[in-house]
Structure 1
């Protein structure tokens, strides 16, 4: 578990570095527009508007109303008063500060987009939660049938299922942080694979 957590932490760190220095702002913007278009087509305009409004309210309360977003710009970019007090050095570093301003805006857009993806995942949770529960029960009953009929469970399948569940558990972090477009079917597919992995695990338990 710690090894997987370390791997995902490294992925998040390199993702941060790549966005800061190697990925153009326009490219991320284009991918965001593409994903929004695909999501609207997949779940409908009304459902997307609901998710977007819900995300905006949460984002505004958490970062705009608290002053965190504004403070992030003040932390790295001098204000007009600070520039005026600099005298002849007022325009020194202007290209650098412009670049920093664009990157900070891009990061806040990615944070907003990550929150939107989180709400998108929650949108499908009530739909697929019964499927996951049913898959778990089916797995346990399959295990009981194996006990009654003296069939053997598979340690190999149990290991695959356990590793799959651990891997799938961290996949949403990748989903929230990934800066490029992801097809909206990704979330339903994740729920389906998670449910099937739980079923496989339950049906091959060595002890009950």
Structure 2
């Protein structure tokens, strides 16, 4: 599989996962997960960091869902009890049951967006530490590559290919982390960066000569 097809496959998986999650994870379960993760943040990093994450997540949710009109669209699609009763005169309970499922999905989707906002802020919280680390891994990879070039070392296409596919997977992991419907420790973020740094270094070292 080419790198482009691999990336497209993960894009499809992420889209399907994001929009199908509200079918299985309820609003109450989402809220419980958010509360648990924020409690972990408060215990590990302190109340100041906890409050900063919450404030920034609220601002992000406001920008993504409220100000864009998405919340208004969701609210407009919710079927009221009055509308359900009116339809029952003609269609019985069939449309009522369908609308209840639709209402539940919309409610779950809204809380899913808020959970995404919280996870996004947790990811951003680590950026000042992780970006220099990844840049250092890339610089080390280039340095090792130059050593190989000067000593006529072997550039393994196999290692490059495996590392490149691993890097694509690892690049998609943060997005999967944002939408994962279960509780995850914030320490997953630096762990993913550590593994990604190893793959990035190998991709650079073993890239074919047209790359360097």
- Measured against the shorter chain, the TM-score band is 0.7 to 0.9
The alpha-carbon deviation at position 24 of structure 1 amounts to 4.4
Q: Offset of 1:56 from its aligned partner?
A: 0.7
| Structure 1 position 99, deviation (Å) | 4.5
Alignment of 1:46 with 2:56, yes or no, is no
Cα gap change, 1:148 to 1:62, in 2 (>3 Å): closer
Normalised by the length of structure 1, the TM-score is 0.82
Question: Is 1:60 matched with 2:62?
Answer: yes
Equivalent residue number for residue 206 of structure 2: 204
Cα distance in structure 1, aligned partners of 2:57 and 2:17: 26
Which residue number in structure 2 is paired with residue 146 of structure 1?
A: 148
SS of 2:192's equivalent in the other structure is helix
Distance 1:138 1:199 in 2: 7
Q: Which residue of 1 aligns with 2:15?
A: 12
What corresponds to 2:132 in structure 1?
Answer: 130
Q: 1:7 to 1:198 in 2, by over 3 A?
A: closer
Any gaps of 5 or more consecutive residues in structure 2? Answer: none
Determine if contact 2:14/2:175 at 8 Å carries over to the other structure: no
Alignment of 1:1-208 (within 5 A): 1-14=4-17, 16-20=19-23, 22-78=24-80, 86=86, 89=89, 97-207=99-209, 208=212
SS in structure 1 of the partner of residue 141 of structure 2: helix
- Equivalent-residue separation in structure 1 for 2:79 and 2:62 (angstroms): 22
SS at 1:137 equivalent: helix
TM-score (norm 2): 0.80
The question of whether the paired residues in 1 share the 8 Å contact of 2:37 and 2:184 is answered with yes
Find the aligned partners of 1:174 and 1:87 in 2 and give their Cα distance.
40
Instruction: State the shift of 1:184 in Å.
Output: 0.9
Instruction: Measure the CA separation in 2 of the matches of 1:57 and 1:188.
Output: 24
Deviation at 1:32, TM superposition (A): 2.8
Query: Residues 147 and 68 from structure 1, CA distance in 2 versus in 1: closer, same or farther, beyond 3 angstroms?
Result: closer
- Name the Cα RMSD after superposition: 2.9
Contact kept? 2:159, 2:202, Cα under 8 Å: yes
For 1:18 and 1:50, locate their aligned partners in 2 and report how far apart those are by CA, in whole Å. 27
Q: Is the 8 A contact 2:22 2:112 kept in 1?
A: no
- Separation in 2, partners of 1:25, 1:113: 10
**Change in CA separation of 1:79 and 1:23 when aligned onto 2, cut-off 3 Å:** closer
Report if aligned partners of 2:53, 2:122 keep a CA contact under 8 Å in 1. yes
